[in-house]
Protein backbone atom coordinates (compact mmCIF):
# COMPACT_ATOMS: atom_id res chain seq x y z
CA UNK A 1 0.00 0.00 0.00
CA UNK A 2 2.60 2.50 1.10
CA UNK A 3 5.48 2.28 -1.40
CA UNK A 4 7.84 3.71 1.22
CA UNK A 5 7.78 0.96 3.88
CA UNK A 6 10.87 0.43 6.00
CA UNK A 7 12.91 -2.79 5.79
CA UNK A 8 11.48 -3.94 9.12
CA UNK A 9 7.97 -3.37 7.86
CA UNK A 10 8.72 -5.34 4.70
CA UNK A 11 9.92 -8.18 6.88
CA UNK A 12 6.77 -7.96 9.03
CA UNK A 13 4.74 -8.12 5.86
CA UNK A 14 6.52 -11.14 4.47
CA UNK A 15 6.43 -13.05 7.76
CA UNK A 16 2.70 -12.42 8.04
CA UNK A 17 2.09 -13.51 4.47
CA UNK A 18 4.00 -16.74 5.05
CA UNK A 19 2.13 -17.43 8.26
CA UNK A 20 -1.28 -16.92 6.66
CA UNK A 21 -0.41 -18.93 3.57
CA UNK A 22 0.57 -21.80 5.85
CA UNK A 23 -2.18 -21.57 8.44
CA UNK A 24 -5.26 -20.01 6.87
CA UNK A 25 -5.05 -19.39 3.12
CA UNK A 26 -8.14 -18.40 1.19
CA UNK A 27 -9.04 -22.05 0.53
CA UNK A 28 -9.15 -22.66 4.28
CA UNK A 29 -11.17 -19.51 4.88
CA UNK A 30 -13.61 -20.91 2.34
CA UNK A 31 -13.80 -24.26 4.12
CA UNK A 32 -14.97 -22.48 7.28
CA UNK A 33 -17.90 -20.96 5.38
CA UNK A 34 -21.20 -22.25 6.68
CA UNK A 35 -19.54 -24.38 9.38
CA UNK A 36 -20.30 -21.81 12.05
CA UNK A 37 -16.68 -22.14 13.16
CA UNK A 38 -14.06 -19.44 13.19
CA UNK A 39 -10.36 -20.01 12.93
CA UNK A 40 -9.08 -22.37 15.62
CA UNK A 41 -7.55 -20.96 18.78
CA UNK A 42 -4.03 -21.70 17.69
CA UNK A 43 -4.49 -19.22 14.83
CA UNK A 44 -5.02 -16.32 17.21
CA UNK A 45 -2.18 -17.26 19.54
CA UNK A 46 0.21 -17.85 16.64
CA UNK A 47 -0.77 -14.50 15.19
CA UNK A 48 -0.13 -13.02 18.60
CA UNK A 49 3.35 -14.55 18.60
CA UNK A 50 4.02 -12.64 15.39
CA UNK A 51 3.05 -9.47 17.23
CA UNK A 52 -0.44 -8.96 15.86
CA UNK A 53 -1.74 -7.53 19.11
CA UNK A 54 1.42 -6.03 20.58
CA UNK A 55 1.92 -3.04 18.31
CA UNK A 56 -0.21 -0.50 20.15
CA UNK A 57 0.74 -1.37 23.72
CA UNK A 58 3.75 -0.07 25.58
CA UNK A 59 6.74 -2.25 26.36
CA UNK A 60 5.90 -2.19 30.10
CA UNK A 61 2.65 -3.93 29.21
CA UNK A 62 4.50 -6.46 27.11
CA UNK A 63 3.89 -4.79 23.77
CA UNK A 64 6.01 -2.83 21.37
CA UNK A 65 5.98 -1.76 17.74
CA UNK A 66 8.34 -2.87 14.98
CA UNK A 67 9.22 0.51 13.48
CA UNK A 68 8.47 2.81 16.39
CA UNK A 69 5.19 3.60 14.68
CA UNK A 70 2.62 1.13 15.96
CA UNK A 71 -0.32 2.29 13.86
CA UNK A 72 1.73 2.06 10.68
CA UNK A 73 2.90 -1.44 11.62
CA UNK A 74 -0.64 -2.54 12.44
CA UNK A 75 -1.79 -1.17 9.08
CA UNK A 76 0.81 -3.32 7.33
CA UNK A 77 -0.67 -6.38 9.05
CA UNK A 78 -4.22 -5.26 8.36
CA UNK A 79 -3.51 -4.95 4.67
CA UNK A 80 -2.10 -8.48 4.48
CA UNK A 81 -5.04 -9.81 6.48
CA UNK A 82 -7.42 -8.08 4.13
CA UNK A 83 -5.62 -9.51 1.11
CA UNK A 84 -6.30 -13.05 2.43
CA UNK A 85 -9.82 -12.23 3.75
CA UNK A 86 -8.78 -13.30 7.24
CA UNK A 87 -11.33 -13.82 10.00
CA UNK A 88 -10.88 -12.61 13.55
CA UNK A 89 -11.28 -9.39 15.50
CA UNK A 90 -7.88 -7.95 14.61
CA UNK A 91 -9.13 -4.37 14.32
CA UNK A 92 -11.26 -4.50 17.47
CA UNK A 93 -8.62 -6.20 19.58
CA UNK A 94 -5.99 -3.64 18.68
CA UNK A 95 -8.39 -0.76 19.30
CA UNK A 96 -9.27 -2.18 22.71
CA UNK A 97 -5.64 -2.81 23.65
CA UNK A 98 -4.71 0.77 22.81
CA UNK A 99 -7.66 2.12 24.78
CA UNK A 100 -6.83 0.01 27.82
CA UNK A 101 -3.14 0.80 27.57
CA UNK A 102 -3.90 4.53 27.51
CA UNK A 103 -6.43 4.43 30.35
CA UNK A 104 -5.00 6.52 33.18
CA UNK A 105 -7.97 6.17 35.53
CA UNK A 106 -5.99 3.89 37.82
CA UNK A 107 -7.62 0.48 37.35
CA UNK A 108 -4.94 -2.16 36.91
CA UNK A 109 -5.77 -4.16 33.79
CA UNK A 110 -2.27 -5.33 33.00
CA UNK A 111 -3.35 -8.95 33.33
CA UNK A 112 -6.22 -8.53 30.89
CA UNK A 113 -4.03 -6.66 28.45
CA UNK A 114 -1.41 -9.39 28.78
CA UNK A 115 -3.97 -12.07 27.91
CA UNK A 116 -5.07 -10.10 24.84
CA UNK A 117 -1.49 -9.52 23.73
CA UNK A 118 -0.70 -13.22 23.94
CA UNK A 119 -3.85 -14.18 22.09
CA UNK A 120 -4.98 -16.19 25.09
CA UNK A 121 -8.15 -14.10 25.23
CA UNK A 122 -10.12 -12.37 22.51
CA UNK A 123 -11.92 -9.04 22.63
CA UNK A 124 -14.53 -7.24 20.55
CA UNK A 125 -15.88 -3.70 20.53
CA UNK A 126 -19.65 -3.50 20.94
CA UNK A 127 -20.15 -0.33 18.91
CA UNK A 128 -23.10 -0.34 16.52
CA UNK A 129 -26.60 0.09 17.87
CA UNK A 130 -29.62 -1.56 16.28
CA UNK A 131 -31.00 0.18 13.22
CA UNK A 132 -27.64 1.08 11.70
CA UNK A 133 -26.60 3.60 14.36
CA UNK A 134 -22.85 4.15 14.59
CA UNK A 135 -22.81 7.08 17.00
CA UNK A 136 -20.85 6.19 20.12
CA UNK A 137 -23.46 5.13 22.64
CA UNK A 138 -26.14 3.97 20.24
CA UNK A 139 -28.39 1.21 21.54
CA UNK A 140 -26.88 0.87 25.00
CA UNK A 141 -27.65 2.77 28.22
CA UNK A 142 -25.69 2.97 31.41
CA UNK A 143 -27.23 3.82 34.79
CA UNK A 144 -25.29 4.70 37.91
CA UNK A 145 -25.76 2.42 40.91
CA UNK A 146 -24.53 2.69 44.48
CA UNK A 147 -21.26 0.84 43.85
CA UNK A 148 -21.08 0.73 40.10
CA UNK A 149 -23.19 0.70 36.96
CA UNK A 150 -25.96 -1.15 35.23
CA UNK A 151 -26.08 -1.67 31.44
CA UNK A 152 -29.21 -2.21 29.35
CA UNK A 153 -29.60 -2.40 25.61
CA UNK A 154 -28.39 -4.12 22.51
CA UNK A 155 -25.46 -3.86 20.11
CA UNK A 156 -25.23 -5.40 16.67
CA UNK A 157 -22.57 -6.38 14.14
CA UNK A 158 -20.07 -7.15 16.89
CA UNK A 159 -17.14 -8.83 15.14
CA UNK A 160 -16.31 -12.36 16.33
CA UNK A 161 -17.93 -11.73 19.73
CA UNK A 162 -18.39 -15.50 20.06
CA UNK A 163 -14.64 -15.79 20.62
CA UNK A 164 -14.35 -12.76 22.87
CA UNK A 165 -13.61 -13.02 26.56
CA UNK A 166 -14.02 -9.27 26.84
CA UNK A 167 -16.32 -6.71 25.30
CA UNK A 168 -15.55 -3.04 25.19
CA UNK A 169 -18.90 -1.26 25.29
CA UNK A 170 -19.70 2.32 24.49
CA UNK A 171 -22.93 3.49 26.11
CA UNK A 172 -25.04 6.58 26.56
CA UNK A 173 -26.22 7.58 30.04
CA UNK A 174 -27.51 10.39 32.24
CA UNK A 175 -24.14 12.18 32.18
CA UNK A 176 -23.20 11.37 28.61
CA UNK A 177 -20.96 8.85 26.98
CA UNK A 178 -19.17 6.20 29.05
CA UNK A 179 -17.21 3.06 28.22
CA UNK A 180 -17.02 -0.23 30.08
CA UNK A 181 -15.05 -3.40 29.82
CA UNK A 182 -17.47 -6.29 30.29
CA UNK A 183 -16.66 -9.97 30.61
CA UNK A 184 -18.53 -11.79 27.87
CA UNK A 185 -19.84 -14.32 30.39
CA UNK A 186 -21.11 -11.67 32.81
CA UNK A 187 -24.69 -12.30 34.01
CA UNK A 188 -27.17 -10.54 31.74
CA UNK A 189 -24.92 -10.60 28.67
CA UNK A 190 -26.27 -12.71 25.80
CA UNK A 191 -24.18 -13.18 22.68
CA UNK A 192 -26.09 -14.53 19.71
CA UNK A 193 -24.63 -15.51 16.38
CA UNK A 194 -26.51 -14.12 13.36
CA UNK A 195 -26.60 -15.05 9.71
CA UNK A 196 -24.06 -12.88 7.88
CA UNK A 197 -23.75 -11.47 4.41
CA UNK A 198 -19.97 -11.63 4.87
CA UNK A 199 -18.94 -15.28 4.82
CA UNK A 200 -15.37 -14.71 5.98
CA UNK A 201 -16.10 -13.27 9.42
CA UNK A 202 -18.78 -13.96 12.01
CA UNK A 203 -20.89 -11.25 13.56
CA UNK A 204 -22.98 -11.31 16.70
CA UNK A 205 -25.80 -9.49 18.39
CA UNK A 206 -25.03 -8.75 22.01
CA UNK A 207 -27.82 -8.11 24.46
CA UNK A 208 -27.20 -6.43 27.81
CA UNK A 209 -30.07 -7.02 30.28
CA UNK A 210 -29.56 -5.49 33.67
CA UNK A 211 -25.84 -6.16 33.54
CA UNK A 212 -24.39 -5.16 36.92
CA UNK A 213 -20.86 -3.80 36.84
CA UNK A 214 -18.48 -2.73 39.55
CA UNK A 215 -17.02 0.75 39.35
CA UNK A 216 -13.72 -0.75 38.14
CA UNK A 217 -15.46 -1.82 34.92
CA UNK A 218 -15.50 1.75 33.67
CA UNK A 219 -12.77 2.48 31.13
CA UNK A 220 -11.45 6.00 31.60
CA UNK A 221 -13.82 8.59 33.00
CA UNK A 222 -16.85 10.49 31.80
CA UNK A 223 -14.48 13.26 30.77
CA UNK A 224 -12.16 11.00 28.78
CA UNK A 225 -14.86 8.85 27.17
CA UNK A 226 -15.74 11.18 24.24
CA UNK A 227 -12.13 11.78 23.12
CA UNK A 228 -11.33 8.09 23.68
CA UNK A 229 -14.29 7.14 21.52
CA UNK A 230 -13.14 9.57 18.78
CA UNK A 231 -9.70 8.01 18.85
CA UNK A 232 -11.09 4.47 18.78
CA UNK A 233 -13.30 5.26 15.82
CA UNK A 234 -10.38 6.84 13.94
CA UNK A 235 -8.09 3.91 14.70
CA UNK A 236 -10.75 1.33 13.80
CA UNK A 237 -11.51 3.27 10.61
CA UNK A 238 -7.92 3.38 9.50
CA UNK A 239 -7.16 -0.28 10.27
CA UNK A 240 -10.40 -1.41 8.70
CA UNK A 241 -9.61 0.77 5.67
CA UNK A 242 -6.20 -0.90 5.40
CA UNK A 243 -7.82 -4.35 5.52
CA UNK A 244 -10.27 -3.21 2.91
CA UNK A 245 -7.52 -1.91 0.61
CA UNK A 246 -5.71 -5.26 0.92
CA UNK A 247 -8.83 -7.11 -0.20
CA UNK A 248 -9.41 -4.60 -3.02
CA UNK A 249 -5.84 -5.04 -4.20
CA UNK A 250 -6.17 -8.82 -4.30
CA UNK A 251 -9.53 -8.79 -6.07
CA UNK A 252 -8.23 -6.34 -8.66
CA UNK A 253 -5.20 -8.54 -9.30
CA UNK A 254 -7.42 -11.59 -9.84
CA UNK A 255 -9.66 -9.59 -12.16
CA UNK A 256 -6.74 -8.26 -14.17
CA UNK A 257 -5.36 -11.78 -14.56
CA UNK A 258 -8.76 -12.99 -15.71
CA UNK A 259 -9.03 -10.21 -18.28
CA UNK A 260 -5.72 -11.35 -19.76
CA UNK A 261 -6.62 -15.06 -19.75
CA UNK A 262 -10.23 -15.03 -20.80
CA UNK A 263 -10.64 -15.21 -24.55
CA UNK A 264 -13.62 -13.85 -26.45
CA UNK A 265 -13.92 -12.91 -30.11
CA UNK A 266 -10.46 -14.33 -30.68
CA UNK A 267 -8.55 -12.20 -28.19
CA UNK A 268 -8.15 -11.62 -24.44
CA UNK A 269 -11.12 -9.58 -23.21
CA UNK A 270 -8.63 -7.20 -21.57
CA UNK A 271 -7.58 -6.01 -25.03
CA UNK A 272 -10.96 -4.39 -25.71
CA UNK A 273 -11.08 -0.72 -24.81
CA UNK A 274 -14.51 -1.11 -23.25
CA UNK A 275 -12.91 -3.50 -20.78
CA UNK A 276 -9.46 -2.00 -20.37
CA UNK A 277 -10.81 1.50 -19.81
CA UNK A 278 -13.00 0.21 -17.03
CA UNK A 279 -9.98 -1.54 -15.56
CA UNK A 280 -7.97 1.69 -15.79
CA UNK A 281 -10.71 3.57 -13.94
CA UNK A 282 -10.83 0.84 -11.32
CA UNK A 283 -7.06 0.96 -11.01
CA UNK A 284 -7.25 4.74 -10.43
CA UNK A 285 -9.87 4.09 -7.79
CA UNK A 286 -7.54 1.61 -6.13
CA UNK A 287 -4.54 3.94 -6.27
CA UNK A 288 -6.59 6.73 -4.72
CA UNK A 289 -7.77 4.34 -2.02
CA UNK A 290 -4.19 3.40 -1.24
CA UNK A 291 -3.23 7.07 -1.13
CA UNK A 292 -6.14 7.79 1.22
CA UNK A 293 -5.30 4.88 3.50
CA UNK A 294 -1.59 5.78 3.61
CA UNK A 295 -2.39 9.39 4.50
CA UNK A 296 -4.81 8.28 7.21
CA UNK A 297 -2.27 5.84 8.69
CA UNK A 298 0.25 8.69 8.96
CA UNK A 299 -2.28 11.03 10.51
CA UNK A 300 -3.65 8.52 13.03
CA UNK A 301 -0.09 7.62 13.94
CA UNK A 302 0.38 11.25 15.00
CA UNK A 303 -3.04 11.19 16.57
CA UNK A 304 -3.84 14.88 16.85
CA UNK A 305 -7.30 16.42 16.45
CA UNK A 306 -6.84 16.70 12.66
CA UNK A 307 -6.25 12.95 12.42
CA UNK A 308 -9.90 12.29 13.27
CA UNK A 309 -11.01 14.04 10.14
CA UNK A 310 -8.38 12.40 7.94
CA UNK A 311 -9.52 8.98 9.22
CA UNK A 312 -13.11 9.82 8.30
CA UNK A 313 -12.00 11.08 4.88
CA UNK A 314 -10.21 7.79 4.20
CA UNK A 315 -13.05 5.69 5.57
CA UNK A 316 -15.69 7.48 3.51
CA UNK A 317 -13.63 7.46 0.33
CA UNK A 318 -12.51 3.84 0.56
CA UNK A 319 -15.95 2.58 1.59
CA UNK A 320 -17.39 3.93 -1.65
CA UNK A 321 -14.36 2.90 -3.69
CA UNK A 322 -14.46 -0.67 -2.35
CA UNK A 323 -18.04 -1.23 -3.46
CA UNK A 324 -17.35 0.47 -6.78
CA UNK A 325 -14.31 -1.74 -7.34
CA UNK A 326 -16.14 -4.91 -6.35
CA UNK A 327 -18.91 -4.18 -8.84
CA UNK A 328 -16.48 -3.32 -11.63
CA UNK A 329 -14.66 -6.62 -11.05
CA UNK A 330 -17.98 -8.43 -10.90
CA UNK A 331 -18.86 -7.12 -14.35
CA UNK A 332 -15.44 -8.09 -15.65
CA UNK A 333 -15.73 -11.70 -14.47
CA UNK A 334 -19.19 -12.00 -15.95
CA UNK A 335 -21.05 -15.28 -15.42
CA UNK A 336 -18.35 -17.06 -13.48
CA UNK A 337 -18.72 -14.50 -10.69
CA UNK A 338 -22.24 -15.78 -10.18
CA UNK A 339 -21.01 -19.21 -9.12
CA UNK A 340 -20.61 -20.19 -5.48
CA UNK A 341 -17.32 -21.97 -6.26
CA UNK A 342 -15.58 -18.86 -7.53
CA UNK A 343 -13.93 -16.76 -4.84
CA UNK A 344 -15.35 -13.53 -6.22
CA UNK A 345 -18.40 -13.47 -3.98
CA UNK A 346 -16.24 -13.83 -0.88
CA UNK A 347 -14.56 -10.54 -1.87
CA UNK A 348 -17.83 -8.87 -2.80
CA UNK A 349 -19.39 -9.83 0.52
CA UNK A 350 -16.32 -8.84 2.51
CA UNK A 351 -15.85 -5.46 0.79
CA UNK A 352 -19.53 -4.59 0.97
CA UNK A 353 -19.44 -5.38 4.68
CA UNK A 354 -16.25 -3.36 5.21
CA UNK A 355 -18.00 -0.41 3.58
CA UNK A 356 -20.48 -0.24 6.48
CA UNK A 357 -18.41 -1.43 9.45
CA UNK A 358 -17.26 1.35 11.79
CA UNK A 359 -19.63 3.67 10.00
CA UNK A 360 -20.60 3.83 6.33
CA UNK A 361 -19.44 6.54 3.92
CA UNK A 362 -22.38 8.85 4.60
CA UNK A 363 -21.81 8.65 8.36
CA UNK A 364 -18.17 9.65 7.94
CA UNK A 365 -19.01 12.45 5.48
CA UNK A 366 -21.33 13.97 8.06
CA UNK A 367 -18.57 13.48 10.61
CA UNK A 368 -16.15 15.42 8.38
CA UNK A 369 -18.54 18.40 8.49
CA UNK A 370 -18.94 18.12 12.27
CA UNK A 371 -15.20 17.87 12.87
CA UNK A 372 -14.78 20.94 10.67
CA UNK A 373 -17.13 22.74 13.03
CA UNK A 374 -19.52 23.23 10.14
Give whichever of 32 and 355 is closer to other proteins, judged by the CB atom.
Answer: 355
- Are 57 and 198 spatial neighbours (Cβ–Cβ below 8 Å)? no
Q: How far is the CB of 148 from other proteins (least distance, A)?
A: 38
Gyration radius of the chain over CA positions:
21
Upper half-sphere CA count for residue 88 (Cβ side, 13 Å): 30
The answer to the question of residue 133 lying near other proteins (CB under 8 A) is: no
- Are 26 and 315 spatial neighbours (Cβ–Cβ below 8 Å)? no
CA–CA dist 41, 62 (Å, integer): 21
Give whichever of 254 and 291 is closer to other proteins, judged by the CB atom.
Answer: 291
The answer to the question of residue 265 lying near other proteins (CB under 8 A) is: no
Of positions 124, 218, 316, 332, contacts other proteins by CB under 8 A: 316
Q: Is 169 helix (H, G, I), strand (E, B) or coil?
A: strand
The answer to the question of residue 369 lying near other proteins (CB under 8 A) is: yes
- Are 166 and 183 spatial neighbours (Cβ–Cβ below 8 Å)? yes
Give whichever of 265 and 340 is closer to other proteins, judged by the CB atom.
Answer: 265
Q: Give me the DSSP letters along 351-366.
A: HHHHHHTTS-HHHHHH
The answer to the question of residue 364 lying near other proteins (CB under 8 A) is: yes
Of positions 271, 327, 345, 360, contacts other proteins by CB under 8 A: 271
Question: In the beta sheet, which residues pair with residue 180?
Answer: 169, 218
The answer to the question of residue 372 lying near other proteins (CB under 8 A) is: yes
Of positions 89, 206, 310, 326, contacts other proteins by CB under 8 A: 310
CA–CA dist 35, 190 (Å, integer): 21
Of positions 16, 179, 294, 332, contacts other proteins by CB under 8 A: 294
The DSSP element (H or E) to which 156 belongs, if any, is strand 148-159
Of positions 150, 276, 342, 345, contacts other proteins by CB under 8 A: 276
Residues contributing to the site for other proteins (CB under 8 A):
2-4, 256, 259-260, 267-268, 270-273, 276-277, 279-281, 283-284, 287-288, 290-292, 294-295, 306, 309-310, 313-314, 316-317, 362, 364-369, 372, 374
Amino acid sequence: MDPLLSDDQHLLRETTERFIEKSLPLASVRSLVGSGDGADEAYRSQGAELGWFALLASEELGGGSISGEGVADAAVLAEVRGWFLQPGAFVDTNVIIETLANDTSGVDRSEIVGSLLSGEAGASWALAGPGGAWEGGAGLHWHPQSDGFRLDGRKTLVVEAGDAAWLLTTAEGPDGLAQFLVASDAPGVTITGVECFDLTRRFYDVEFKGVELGSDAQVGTLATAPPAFDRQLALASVLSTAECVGAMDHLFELTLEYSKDRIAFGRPIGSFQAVKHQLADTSLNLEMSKAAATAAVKAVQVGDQASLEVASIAKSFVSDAAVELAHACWQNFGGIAYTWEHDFHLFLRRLTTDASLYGPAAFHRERICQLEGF
